[in-house]
Structure 1
């Protein structure tokens, strides 16, 4: 029997991992995101799918550790000074959104016929957005560190904090509340304050000495164990104090954010965080009770649609009042329209003290889970249907009858460096750029940059392309760069054309187009980088320079060979569908080291298809 039990456990573990491995890449490939993939996988293997699991709540309770670790990693990125800088967003924007959305949803519940206490608790549970889903979607889109993303993070932090007073309010609203309950509430508040103070003291004066001691032992597995101990210990301390485990982990992360061990902690926690967070989403999918939905589907569907619509409206209103543009406001509303994992805690507490009956708790829990499942689809729809906001042209001059010895198109990092020598020598440089924020930033440093799209012939004409002695194309988009080259060669063939190449394939295309000069954007910096590494490793300076010059010469010869060969031009070069050029000299190898004086430089055309190079 023991063997059978172990085998059954192993089957469940394999089922969890297999469902995630199959569903997540499939959903991401369809553009639906990993969260929806996890939810669908959980639904497929749960009690109402293949029935490989019968107790989804047990898995959900364990998987909440993924949310805890996620908040710890976020805390590591939030230095106290940065967190203090977000105080207005946390306690201003966050509190305003919670208050307005809570009021609106409470009104909906009362109009629906629910008692005021029940309507309030149901509304506030739905107001607490899912930190796990919102942060995962932000992270997938690379927007966590953007100003808009930081505002969402701030609101989520306030909502996590709000669970503490909300649980106290639930106890106060309990039908069986008595005078003796006040003594218990005072004790609970004291425990909460004590837990916070204890965590702050430990984080400030104990954790760094502990990690220094462990680091001196040079036992990597002990450092990993210590990282897990910090996260889980902070979560446990907060739970014992009646607070949110996730908030305890977040606070621990903040306290360690300026530690010299911050990056080591993040690296140790990251694998556990990713697996457990995925497990959390799987468990949420399993928890969707189709029996409850089948019995009360009109109520649940109506609650999902109405609650999400009204909450989105409240979020949008607050965002617009506080000066967010339309696109940012509607994106925030879609991202935070759902109820979250803390609703389960609040609803369970309400059921425990008699505010909800079992049926109401099941209906509201199903409502929250459905809203969480719909959020990735809603954000995807908003992203595709909402056009990108137009750029503000305030304080920006458009390119109109410019004149200059040189016309520079694009003023990013590459263009800024390239312009300095020309300006230092006294050449008149006309600069156009289609990013208004970049134009304003350049103005702060004394550069006059005009707004203009170099892919348009009329803009090239008014920017002085026909009068300039040279046109420098410094943009980083291959298609736009090729379009400018095509227009310049057709309309202004006598103007000297200097172009920034994105990679080797692009460089071959530019050679074929007949530009006067091109350079791969990372090539020379990589050459200098490699030469410096040689010198630092003990190679004499003169020899390092000779090796670098030899590598550069061979690369130029190979590039010329590929360009004149014809068959090496275009995309076939990167696809590996053409014969590979033979080496100019055969490299000598010692183990894994290639001798510099006789080595043939690495050719992207000789690389496997799965690893295309962008050098």
Structure 2
């Protein structure tokens, strides 16, 4: 098992790094790793029962962490989705698929069983991708999660029914069904009592000990113990883990628990996706490639269309219906277990199982790409008349506006600006690409419209040429840059105020045409520092003058920060952030005896903030040579600081 684990992790490291360079989702990379090293391809990994159990824990940890986000009150609010939409989806998708399988020659029992299995979607992939995309609590995300929870319960029932249908069980199927439901109810109430009386006291005692190791151990023990108890009852370990997480969702410690188990969850979940890929016979793609492609297309189109229709009939808008359908269009990992059990019970003819598994695998592999492309696909699914109608409607609404303010992005910041403008009786019009937010805001505010502010026709429709000011409060730097460039092309003289999280893209935004850029973190730091100085007794006029000087200097005084031991500098947001780093020159350092002008650190996109010698700050404009023991404080992005340090110490970079 050790050699197998080493091969899987090493191969995954290479493939995931390649997929990230290609901007492809990691889930797809793990599936490809399994397909590549599996027994029908390179055959690098032996079939190991221990490895499959380890991989299954990945789904357990994933469902537990998802349960932490869905507390019991939230789940009770979703009961109509779980049992209403969930049951409709399983029936509406399962019956047509069963009829199709029966038409292809399967027995009635096998067709019903596999039809119901194919109606279920991939809990692991959908929940993982929704979390990665930040769409768990979106309209389509909540509908998908609700349906998946019902599907997990159906999956347990189907697995327990297979022996009865195959004639191997000593009990009738209806007795098995009643016993399984009884176990599920018993598990729920047992976990409910534990979460109300035992676990809060246990977590309080561990937290009081202030030992991070004990907290991590308690979180791991809790997840594994729940999965073990659920397995003893003959139920799904993942379902039990979700229930445990859900009941702990009210706890004060849920965020810390989720943070502690995240590293274990992500690695083990990767192993799970690899194990799924290893189950596929790659030779089938050579001999039956067209048939597999056709089956995959048939499965995804039929499931996606039926789910979208059900969601639409239940009163949701078309956009949410289509996105829910695309999210649940794939087959699920449960189908692999069901096919294996059906083959053992001689319910499935020879050759059918491999084709069903191959089509299911392809649908799962396409899902991450489909979810990322879903917004554009849904936009194209709408009729051209419906897409175009919004522009004339917005233009008509803004026709009477002159000297108004255009707000791009109506989130927390945009709404705050709108309230101030309304109080001063200054007219404004806002654009936002979140349909739920626009629907909520438009009910009480007349000038909030749905649309992508990067589109020139929408900027023209909101009357940009007649506006006095444009405020860009979009929480996406790529969209912000594109919006500023487009607005500057349409109105070269317009004042553009841009809000950003930090100062990492300050120069780019100014070059794109932003009149003023307000980094949210730096402005809040400046306000906090100003309040501190006033509380220390400094005159308000003096403090206000200092703050204005910092703003006029484009926040240069506040740029950069010393990262802490817990900062993850390899994450892409932090790699773009400006950091501070002090380099102390040793006796052998290259910079000793050379001035800052000679070192030309500016060519490396790194800025020298200060130079300290014997606890005194030196004048940066001085041409005097640096000495051993000098501390040079560098400001720049991670790679630039590394290059600057290399030049100071070794003359490289």
Structure-2-length-normalised TM-score: 0.74
Q: 1:111 aligns with which of 78, 94, 103?
A: 103
Shift of 1:95: 0.9
Q: 1:542 aligns with which of 535, 538, 542?
A: 538
How many angstroms apart in 1 are the aligned matches of 2:7 and 2:339? 30
Q: Which structure 2 residues correspond to residues 506-545 of structure 1 after superposition, within 5 A?
A: 519-520=518-519, 522-531=521-530, 540-542=536-538
Aligned residue-pair number = 574
How many angstroms apart in 2 are the aligned matches of 1:542 and 1:455? 48
Deviation by residue 1:39-98 (Cα, 9 ceiling, x = unmatched): 111222222333221205652333011001100000000111111111111111111111
Shift of 1:550: 4.4
| Partner residue in 2 for 1:224 | 216
Q: Which structure 2 residues correspond to residues 58-207 of structure 1 after superposition, within 5 A?
A: 58-176=50-168, 190-207=182-199
Shift of 1:321: 2.5
CA contact (8 A) 2:611 2:632 kept: no
How many angstroms apart in 2 are the aligned matches of 1:275 and 1:155? 26
Deviation by residue 1:397-439 (Cα, 9 ceiling, x = unmatched): 7344435565444473445444555554x5x422122338566
CA contact (8 A) 2:98 2:112 kept: yes
CA contact (8 A) 1:410 1:474 kept: yes
Q: Which structure 2 residues correspond to residues 261-276 of structure 1 after superposition, within 5 A?
A: 261-276=253-268
1:342 aligns with 2:339: no
User: In structure 2, the residue corresponding to 1:338 is in which secondary structure?
Assistant: coil
| Partner residue in 2 for 1:499 | 497
Greater length-normalized contact order (CA 8 Å, ≥ 6 residues apart) = 1
Distance 1:299 1:558, change over 3 A: closer
Q: Which structure 2 residues correspond to residues 440-459 of structure 1 after superposition, within 5 A?
A: 441-442=440-441, 444=443, 448=447
Shift of 1:116: 0.5
User: In structure 1, the residue corresponding to 2:497 is in which secondary structure?
Assistant: strand
How many angstroms apart in 1 are the aligned matches of 2:248 and 2:157? 26
Which structure 1 residue ranges, 5 or more long, are not aligned?
1-8, 562-570, 595-599
Q: RMSD over aligned Cα, in angstroms?
A: 4.5
CA contact (8 A) 2:608 2:633 kept: no
Deviation by residue 1:121-143 (Cα, 9 ceiling, x = unmatched): 11112112111111122223221
| Partner residue in 2 for 1:429 | 426
Distance 1:520 1:61, change over 3 A: closer
CA contact (8 A) 2:395 2:461 kept: no
1:45 aligns with 2:48: no
Distance 1:449 1:197, change over 3 A: closer
How many angstroms apart in 1 are the aligned matches of 2:212 and 2:555? 46
CA contact (8 A) 2:164 2:172 kept: no
Distance 1:347 1:21, change over 3 A: same
Moved more, 98-107 or 443-452: 443-452
User: In structure 1, the residue corresponding to 2:61 is in which secondary structure?
Assistant: helix
Q: 1:481 aligns with which of 461, 481, 484?
A: 484
Moved more, 519-528 or 208-217: 519-528
Distance 1:257 1:455, change over 3 A: closer
User: In structure 2, the residue corresponding to 1:429 is in which secondary structure?
Assistant: coil
How many angstroms apart in 2 are the aligned matches of 1:319 and 1:41? 35
Distance 1:429 1:18, change over 3 A: same
Shift of 1:10: 4.2
How many angstroms apart in 1 are the aligned matches of 2:178 and 2:605? 80
User: In structure 1, the residue corresponding to 2:277 is in which secondary structure?
Assistant: helix
CA contact (8 A) 1:236 1:245 kept: yes
User: In structure 1, the residue corresponding to 2:342 is in which secondary structure?
Assistant: helix
Distance 1:383 1:411, change over 3 A: closer
User: In structure 2, the residue corresponding to 1:15 is in which secondary structure?
Assistant: helix
| Partner residue in 2 for 1:3 | none
How many angstroms apart in 2 are the aligned matches of 1:543 and 1:551? 13
| Partner residue in 2 for 1:597 | none
Shift of 1:449: 5.3
Distance 1:112 1:508, change over 3 A: closer
1:244 aligns with 2:216: no
| Partner residue in 2 for 1:355 | 347
User: In structure 1, the residue corresponding to 2:429 is in which secondary structure?
Assistant: strand
Distance 1:606 1:142, change over 3 A: closer
How many angstroms apart in 1 are the aligned matches of 2:312 and 2:603? 54
How many angstroms apart in 2 are the aligned matches of 1:179 and 1:607? 65
CA contact (8 A) 1:407 1:463 kept: no
Distance 1:398 1:126, change over 3 A: same
How many angstroms apart in 1 are the aligned matches of 2:633 and 2:55? 46
Distance 1:382 1:523, change over 3 A: closer
How many angstroms apart in 1 are the aligned matches of 2:31 and 2:458? 51
CA contact (8 A) 2:166 2:346 kept: yes
Moved more, 268-277 or 346-355: 346-355
Q: Which structure 2 residues correspond to residues 321-400 of structure 1 after superposition, within 5 A?
A: 321-356=313-348, 360-379=352-371, 385-387=377-379, 390=387, 398-400=396-398
How many angstroms apart in 2 are the aligned matches of 1:168 and 1:606? 56
How many angstroms apart in 2 are the aligned matches of 1:423 and 1:158? 46
Distance 1:589 1:158, change over 3 A: farther
How many angstroms apart in 1 are the aligned matches of 2:240 and 2:512? 60
Shift of 1:14: 2.4
How many angstroms apart in 1 are the aligned matches of 2:525 and 2:133? 29
How many angstroms apart in 1 are the aligned matches of 2:457 and 2:331? 51
